[in-house]
């Protein structure tokens, strides 16, 4: 039996595979809209393990499997024996013996790595404290659809150096663009990852400098899942990094801006930008569906 192909971070794909996946996602999107999808995942079953909340990730994986002829199981942390302390490696062995693929959203990235190491089928990271690679596939698809290839562009991250930021750092080195990370001291992304990405990503404390001539501005909540009790202190430190019209004016004239959602209007992003008629944020959210269908096809080589 060949070893399963996992997707735990973007670095599990080559640059050519990322570009091929985006092309396929765009094709799947137009087929879906035309009512002409082919059931490439006919009879396949995806188990989805969630120990954190979700709207987009759950709906997109579940709908995506159904649309491609397969099905998805929702397993909440509390309701399975995992929640009662059954070891991850035992759970991985059992669950993967019954399904074709597993998606996990949880806290520790090491838990997803451990599950993958003991799984006989592909494992997809649906968000950990450290990475959110599925989100960036959808974000990249959106950029490619609207502006073309992102290689050589300037991208600016605003706010907390969190899991979504880490996945954008990986994207920068895979697809060869510049990522300027605007965050205050104490909110830096992981130091080891920053060192690994140093040719493509760097920190700039001044958001007005960071946003200058950027082709794409990005942000995310200031307190991620699991950090809710730090909300007030984080909001006080991160306030100058709000994505708003003033910062957008500093960027390139045709700059796009994105947010993975859910958003807090008036905190990390202004209500005005969230509600702008020409924002690509809703397209970005929808693309989770299409990008992940292409990902599942790739992992199962259908």
| Chain contacts with ligand NVA (rule: CB under 6 A) | 127, 132, 162-164, 220-221, 224-225, 260
Residue from 194, 203, 252, 261 in contact with ligand CP (CB under 6 A): 261
Residue from 14, 30, 38, 55 in contact with ligand CP (CB under 6 A): 55
147 is catalytic: no
Q: How far apart are CA 281 and CA 275, in angstroms?
A: 10
What is the total count of residues that contact ligand CP (CB under 6 A)?
A: 9
Q: How far apart are CA 214 and CA 156, in angstroms?
A: 6
Minimum distance of ligand CP from residue 97's CB (angstroms)? 27
Q: How far apart are CA 180 and CA 81, in angstroms?
A: 43
Q: How far apart are CA 207 and CA 250, in angstroms?
A: 10
Residue recorded with tokens 């991250």: 157
Q: How far apart are CA 144 and CA 23, in angstroms?
A: 9
Catalytic residue among 135, 141, 242, 292: 135
Q: Choose the one of ligand CP, ligand NVA, none that binds residue 55, judging by a C-beta under 5 to 8 angstroms depending on kind.
A: ligand CP
- Strand order across the 71-76 sheet: 71-76, 45-50, 101-105, 123-125
Token readout for 18 is 């990322």
What residues numbered 83-142 form the site for ligand CP, per CB under 6 A? 127, 135
Catalytic residue among 166, 259, 288, 290: 288
Token readout for 263 is 């958003």
Catalytic residue among 183, 260, 290, 292: 260
Binding status of residue 292 toward ligand CP by CB under 6 A: no
Positions in the binding site for ligand CP (CB under 6 A): 54-57, 127, 135, 260-262
Residues marked active site are found at: 105, 132, 135, 220, 260, 288
């Amino acid at each position: 039996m060949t070893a399963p192909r996992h997707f735990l971070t973007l670095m599990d794909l080559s640059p050519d595979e990322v570009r091929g996946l985006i092309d396929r996602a765009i094709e799947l999107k137009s087929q879906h809209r035309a009512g002409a999808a082919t059931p490439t995942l006919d009879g396949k079953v995806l188990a989805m393990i969630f120990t954190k909340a979700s709207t987009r990730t759950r709906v997109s994986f579940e709908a995506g499997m159904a649309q491609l002829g397969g099905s998805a199981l929702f397993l909440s942390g509390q309701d399975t024996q995992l929640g009662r302390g059954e070891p991850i490696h035992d759970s991985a062995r059992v669950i993967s013996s019954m399904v074709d693929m597993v998606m996990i959203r949880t806290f520790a990235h090491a838990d997803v790595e451990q599950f993958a190491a003991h799984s006989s089928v592909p494992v997809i990271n649906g968000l950990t404290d450290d990475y959110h690679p599925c989100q960036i596939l959808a974000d990249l698809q959106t950029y490619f659809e609207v502006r073309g290839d992102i290689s050589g562009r300037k991208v600016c991250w605003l706010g907390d150096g969190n899991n979504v930021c880490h996945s954008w750092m990986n994207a920068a080195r895979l697809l060869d663009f510049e990522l300027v990370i605007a965050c205050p001291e104490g909110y830096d992304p992981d130091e080891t990852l920053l060192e690994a990405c140093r040719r493509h990503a760097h920190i700039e404390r001044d958001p007005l400098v960071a946003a200058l001539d950027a082709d794409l501005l990005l942000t995310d909540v200031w307190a991620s899942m699991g950090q809710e009790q730090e909300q007030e202190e984080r909001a006080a430190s991160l306030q100058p990094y709000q994505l708003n019209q003033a910062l957008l004016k500093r960027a390139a004239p045709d700059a796009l801006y994105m947010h993975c959602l859910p958003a807090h209007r008036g905190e990390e992003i202004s209500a005005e930008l969230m509600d702008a008629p020409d924002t690509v944020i809703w397209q970005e959210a929808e693309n989770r569906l299409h990008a992940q269908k292409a990902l599942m096809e790739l992992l199962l080589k259908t």
